[in-house]
Amino acid sequence: MEDKLISVIIPIYNVQDLLPKCIDSIINQTYMKLEIILVNDGSKDNSALICEQYAKKDKRIKVIHKPNGGLSDARNAGLEIAKGDYIAFVDSDDYIINNAYEVMILEATRHNLDIVAANAEILNGKSKSNLMKEKHMPTEIITGLDYLCESIKQSSFQACAWLNLYRKNLLIDNNFYFEKGLLHEDEEWTPRVFLKANKVKYIDFKFYNYVIREGSIMTKKDKTKNGLDIIKTCYKLNDIYIRYVDKDRRKILNSYLLNIYLGGIYIGRLDRPPYRKSLKKSFIFDKINNPRDLFKASLFLINIRLYCKINSLSKTEF
């Protein structure tokens, strides 16, 4: 186990108050063979200084300073220099438990896996909840496509890039970099990665602490670009599924796409006249796979504004 190097990529932008907890959780891992890549994405606070201070204390740390280019660009910068056998991502306002990589690399090496998938806890103020319904997840070794389909059927799939440990060659050989400037980039990136993975295993292990904080992308008020980028992602993934996925399993993936698509319309308030031209009612016709999908799609097709209004009143969020 100890001969496998894990490259941990941490994109950083203006998180000086939270950054030490994140870095400490990584340098204090029980699994020591780590390459820790801190990517300072043009921070304007003291984040850059904090990175350099940690690099002086731990030789495993590499620091990249670059102009601000967004989360995708920062992750790509880390990927380009990563030397590890496996790749992990951690967002700089989150942190992991101390034996996270010891447990995950053991599974990866024992079964020669392309991806080790696990679970996380969501921390929102004083409240705590599980990210996924782990008791429903498949635990045998399966293909990435089967993992996508099974977890979607159980309403447990999460596209978060930081939720998994990836074989580096899977990412580099397939040119799996993140699309620069795209919001919700994980929704576009993660399914593509799983489609190419031959051996995936889920472990019932909550290793990651996802912190909800004010000022993050997910809490900002104007989410027009969020919605537009989600719609763009749905069109791209739909084209990929048509080319590479058989009809039966495509039905499952399409159901997930439908919910992403409708959710993007809601959170971006794309029922407004300037943005309606971005929407394709025809897109949803072949995505309906169950009665709930049918109800949501029918409501959308009858009246887009009514659909968004009902979502708003019910406080439904994507």
Together in a domain, 175 and 225: no
For residue 272, the model assigns a pLDDT of: 86
Together in a domain, 107 and 198: yes
Together in a domain, 238 and 106: no
Q: Please tell me the total count of domains within the chain.
A: 2
Residue 118 falls inside a structural domain: yes
pLDDT in tens, the chain (318 residues): 558 999 999 999 999 999 999 999 999 999 999 999 999 999 999 999 999 999 999 999 999 999 999 999 999 999 999 999 999 999 999 999 999 999 999 999 999 999 999 999 999 888 888 888 766 777 899 999 999 999 999 889 999 999 999 999 999 999 999 999 999 999 999 999 999 999 999 999 999 999 997 655 455 678 999 999 999 999 999 999 999 999 999 999 999 999 899 889 888 988 888 888 888 878 887 788 778 778 877 877 777 777 776 666 554 443
Residue 1 falls inside a structural domain: no
Residue 45 falls inside a structural domain: yes
Q: CA–CA distance from 44 to each of 48, 56, 92 (Å)?
A: 8, 21, 15
For residue 271, the model assigns a pLDDT of: 81
Residue 80 falls inside a structural domain: yes
Together in a domain, 12 and 72: yes
Together in a domain, 128 and 170: yes
Together in a domain, 211 and 239: no
Closest by CA to 308, choosing from 277, 271, 283, is 271
Together in a domain, 46 and 192: yes
Together in a domain, 156 and 242: no
Q: What's the CATH number where 195 sits?
A: 3.90.550.10
Together in a domain, 64 and 178: yes
| Domain-terminating residue out of 216, 247, 263 | 216
Query: Is the full-model pTM beyond 0.85?
Result: yes
Q: CA–CA distance from 108 to each of 6, 27, 31, 118, 164 (Å)?
A: 11, 20, 13, 12, 11
Range of the domain at 55: 6-216
| Domain-terminating residue out of 216, 246, 265 | 216
For residue 222, the model assigns a pLDDT of: 86
Residue 293 falls inside a structural domain: yes
Residue 127 falls inside a structural domain: yes
Together in a domain, 95 and 236: no
Together in a domain, 200 and 246: no
Residue 270 falls inside a structural domain: yes
Residue 226 falls inside a structural domain: yes
| Domain-terminating residue out of 192, 216, 240 | 216
For residue 215, the model assigns a pLDDT of: 55
Together in a domain, 60 and 168: yes
Length of the chain counted residue by residue: 318
